[in-house]
Amino acid sequence: MTADRETPVTPVLDVRDLSVRFRMRGGRDIAAVTDARFSVAPGECLALVGESGCGKSVLASALLGLLPANAETTGSAVLGGDTDLLTAGERTLARTVRGRRIGLVPQSPAAHLTPVRTVRAQLEETLRELTGVRGAAAVRDAAGEAAARASFPADHLDRYPHELSGGLAQRAATALALIGDAPLLLADEPTTGLDRDLVERTVDELRRHTDEGRALLIITHDLAAAERIADRVAVMYAGRIVEIAGSRPFFGAPGPRHPYAKGLLDALPERDFAPIPGMPPELGALPDGCAFAARCTRADARCTDERPAFEDALACHHGLTGRAHSLTKAAADA
Ligand SMILES: Nc1ncnc2c1ncn2[C@@H]1O[C@H](COP(=O)(O)OP(=O)(O)O)[C@@H](O)[C@H]1O
Ligand code: SF4
Ligand SMILES: [Mg+2]
| 110 and 134 inside one domain | yes
Domain boundary among 181, 212, 234: 181
Domain boundary among 124, 149, 181: 181
| 36 and 138 inside one domain | no
pLDDT tens column, 253-294: 999 999 999 999 999 999 999 999 999 999 999 999 999 999
Round the average pLDDT of the chain to a whole number and report it: 91
Q: Half-sphere exposure (CA, 13 Å, Cβ side) for 150?
A: 26
Lowest mean pLDDT among 14-18, 238-242, 267-271: 267-271
User: Are the C-beta atoms of 60 and 15 separated by less than 8 Å?
Assistant: no
Compute the C-alpha angle 216/186/196, nearest 5°. Answer: 80
Report the first-to-last Cα separation within the chain, whole angstroms: 22
| 302 and 212 inside one domain | yes
Instruction: Note the pTM of the prediction, 2 decimals.
Output: 0.91
Residue 161 lies in a domain: yes
| 219 and 124 inside one domain | no
Task: Supply the CATH number for residue 44's domain.
Answer: 3.40.50.300
| 120 and 235 inside one domain | no
Of 71, 112, 77, nearest in space to 97 by CA: 77
| 53 and 175 inside one domain | no
Domain with 19, as residue range(s), is 13-101+186-333
Residue 6 lies in a domain: no
Percent of the chain with pLDDT over 70: 93
Decide: 238 in ligand 2 pocket, CB within 6 A.
Answer: no
Of 220, 253, 224, nearest in space to 234 by CA: 220
Decide: 320 in ligand 2 pocket, CB within 6 A.
Answer: no
* Nearest protein CA to atom 2 of ligand 1, as residue: 22
Decide: 60 in ligand 1 pocket, CB within 6 A.
Answer: no
38 — phi, psi (to 5°)? -165, 165
| 173 and 191 inside one domain | no
**Ligand positioned closest to the Cα atom of 187:** 3
pLDDT tens column, 118-163: 999 999 999 999 998 999 999 999 999 999 988 899 999 999 999 9
Residue 312 lies in a domain: yes
Residue 317 CA, ligand 2 centroid: distance in Å: 6
Please tell me the distance from the alpha carbon of residue 298 to that of residue 138, in angstroms, as a whole number. Answer: 62
pLDDT tens column, 186-219: 999 988 877 888 889 889 989 998 999 999 999 9
Calculate the CA 204 to chain-centre distance: 16
* Nearest protein CA to atom 1 of ligand 1, as residue: 68
Number of domains the chain contains: 2
| 91 and 108 inside one domain | no
Q: Mention every residue, 6+ apart, whose C-beta is less than 8 A from residue 224.
A: 199, 268, 270
| 132 and 94 inside one domain | no
User: Are the C-beta atoms of 102 and 108 separated by less than 8 Å?
Assistant: no
| 251 and 200 inside one domain | yes
| 304 and 260 inside one domain | yes
Residue 8 lies in a domain: no
| 174 and 77 inside one domain | no
Of 215, 216, 225, nearest in space to 193 by CA: 225
